[in-house]
Amino acid sequence: MIINTGARTDTVQFYTEWLLRRFSEGYVLVRNPLFPNKVNRYELTPDKVDCVVFCSKNYRPILPRLHEITDRFNTYFHYTITAYGKDVEPGVPSVEESMETLVELSALVGKQRVAWRYDPVLLTRDYTVERHCETFERMAGVLVPHIDRCIFSFVEMYKKLDANMPEIIPLTEADRDTLAKSLGDTARRHGIRLQTCGTNGDFSRYGIHASGCMTLEALGKANGVAFRTLKHKGLREGCHCIESRDIGAYDTCLNGCKYCYANKNPQKAFENRKLHDPASSLLLGHVRPADDVSQGAQRSFLAKKQPNATTLLDL
């Protein structure tokens, strides 16, 4: 199975001690967000976990002890660095600080395990099409020696944005096309593999790949392991990723990003933070008497070893 540590919250940045303790103790409990009394247990051991996938906007807190996980598990790292400042991403370090941390992360784990995420792309009066193009160009020049690929997506206009980010300017088709062409041209000049995420349209005419952010092909190549040929069911409609299990919880990320889909609002996350105990097997709170705790399914995607096998599977 694939363990995902960062789709519901920035576990790496804000719950570092808890995350490391869970891998040290060898298991984690995850509360079902739809049925709160149902709790799944997952074993966090190399024989049960094929790969640990991270996603964060700040790996600085975990860098000194990251080897405790990377020494034992196959891993892959998504690092989100965008053009936005504190007005949009209050809890996120500056672009310069983030790029410095990515360079250090890459030196520790190898560039083949690091993906730079430039998403979501959105427009305001300050963050114009031109500003995105200029910022992406500058960042690409710094990051190209340290990344496996770059992933971008256009913001999804869900209802919460109306309240959380009223200053957002809807992207037109012309905006999308201009941005995709510029990002594609920049990526080509720097030799960066650029791909979209989710249902963001077909921009293959600009050399942009349409693929999942988390595919067995990418994870296998990054770690030098072979996976079985399996259909990627995706995490939602239009997604091309392999199925995974997220060990985080919604409404717990303290970055306060205005466009966030995982928090109802920033205040809710700070309220929930008070329920966090680094020693608990759950990210928030503890197991309650009425909870139904069951073992989660953990099937392996790894291919069976074949005699004299020297190449990765083509998926």
C-alpha neighbours within 13 Å on the C-beta side of residue 181: 8
CA 253 to chain centre: 13
- 199-254 pLDDT tens trace: 668 899 999 998 778 889 999 999 999 998 877 665 655 566 788 999 999 999 99
Q: Are 181 and 194 in contact (CB under 8 A)?
A: no
- The structure's pTM equals 0.92
- 279-299 pLDDT tens trace: 999 999 999 999 999 999 999
**Positions of the chain with pLDDT lower than 70, given as ranges:** 198-200, 232-240, 305-315
Q: Look up tokens 């196959």; give the residue.
A: 74
pLDDT of 312 reads 43
Q: Which residues have C-beta within 8 Å of that of residue 172, sequence separation ≥ 6?
A: none
